[in-house]
Amino acid sequence: MSSFFSMRRVTREFGGLKAVTDFSLSIEKGELIGLIGPNGAGKTTVFNMITGRIRPTTGDIIWKGKNITRLQPHLITHGGIARTFQNIKLFDDMNVLENVMVSFHSSMRSSFLSAMIGLPRHRREENRIREQSIAHLEEAGLAPLSSEKAQNLPYGIQRKLEITRALATEPELLLLDEPAAGMNPMEKIELAAFLARVRQSHGISILLIEHDMRFVMGICERIKVMDYGLSIAEGTPEEIRNHPDVIRAYLGGSGDTPD
């Protein structure tokens, strides 16, 4: 029963609107799961609930045996769940290296006082963070852009930097909100390869929201489909492709037409 990550009958209401209803999901270590559904199905709300940005009305979120439903966002990140955002949220006026260095902030052991006095202990820690951040940038192939301001980067690179920044928090579960949005086919292939590499080297689980069906079907082992806040189907890409409810959600229709 105690799985790696699970959401149990989670519901979130905004006023009278049920954005997510009785949503359950479990993820095993190392899995890559896709969360799909038409616009407004409640996918991002699920992400926001997992990362503590909004609290579920009812239901529990269990992470490695602990209930994290009411934890603050930064504590959830410390616990090992990192995310990216649908509309890219980089620290625009900071350079690429600094963007990644922020992710190591919670690993700081020296106090602000030693920072203000400039103790050697603190300087060593700053150097450690710098080196680790550069290592992450090298892994993602972003090291040559280190001193570039985040806001000046092309779109595809910004997406990649956001993933790198999330990885720098050293998560065990990574939530990607439409990582391939706005990318051209070449960039998408590159992204899929990058995600596969990251999964292998860090051994992390990934949950991703994506609208590009070919991308999702290509890399996910299991797919969960949402519509109007309800989970309507779950299975392998093959099963999802032929699921009548999924086809109805995407293409409309009464549903009694055989296909």
Partner 1 sequence: MSAKSKLILNIALLSALFGLLYLFNRYGSGYQIRILNNIAIFITLAVSYNLVNGVCGLLHLGPNGFIAIGAYTSALLSMTPAEKELNFILTYLIWPLSVIHVPFFVSLLAAGAVAALFAFFISFPVLRVRGDYLAIVTFGFGEVVRVLCNAGQSVTNGPLGLKGLYPYTNLWWSWGVAVLAVIVIQRLINSNYGLAMKAIREDETAAMAMGVDASRRLMLAFMVSAFFSGVAGGLLAHLITTISPGVFTFVLTFNLLIMIVVGGLGSSTGAIIGAVLFTWGGEALRVVEQPMDIGIFTIPGIPGMRMVIFSFVLMLVILFARNGIMGRQELSWDLLVSKFTRFTRTGTPL
List residues near partner 1 by CB under 8 A: 51, 53, 72-74, 77-78, 82-83, 85, 89-94, 98, 101-106, 108, 112, 115-118, 122, 125-126, 129, 165-166, 168-169
Cβ closest to partner 1, residue 22 vs residue 126: 126
Instruction: Compute and round to an integer the Cα radius of gyration of the chain.
Output: 20
Cβ closest to partner 1, residue 43 vs residue 122: 122
Residue 175: CB minimum distance to partner 1, A: 9
Residue 12: CB minimum distance to partner 1, A: 17
Cβ closest to partner 1, residue 69 vs residue 169: 169
Q: Which helix (H) or strand (E) holds 45?
A: helix 43-50
* 99, 148 contact by CB (below 8 A): no
Residue 54: CB minimum distance to partner 1, A: 11
Distances (CA, A) of 167 to 75, 100, 205: 16, 9, 12
Residue 245: CB minimum distance to partner 1, A: 32
What is the C-alpha to C-alpha distance for residues 126 and 106, in angstroms, rounded to an integer?
Answer: 12
Cβ closest to partner 1, residue 70 vs residue 89: 89
Matching residue, tokens 């203000």: 116
Between vectors from CA 32 to CA 11 and to CA 239, what angle results, nearest 5°? 80
Residue 4: CB minimum distance to partner 1, A: 20
Residue 81: CB minimum distance to partner 1, A: 9
Residue 207: CB minimum distance to partner 1, A: 15
Q: Which helix (H) or strand (E) holds 122?
A: helix 120-140
Cβ closest to partner 1, residue 105 vs residue 197: 105
Cβ closest to partner 1, residue 68 vs residue 246: 68
* 194, 160 contact by CB (below 8 A): yes
- DSSP letter assigned to residue 166: H
Cβ closest to partner 1, residue 60 vs residue 98: 98
CB atoms within 10 A of CB 158: 20
* 101, 130 contact by CB (below 8 A): yes
CB atoms within 10 A of CB 5: 23
- The string over 14-34, giving b where at least 16 C-beta atoms fall within 10 Å of a residue's C-beta and e elsewhere, is eeeebbbbebebebeeebbbb
Bridge-based pairing of strands 58-63 and 66-67 is antiparallel
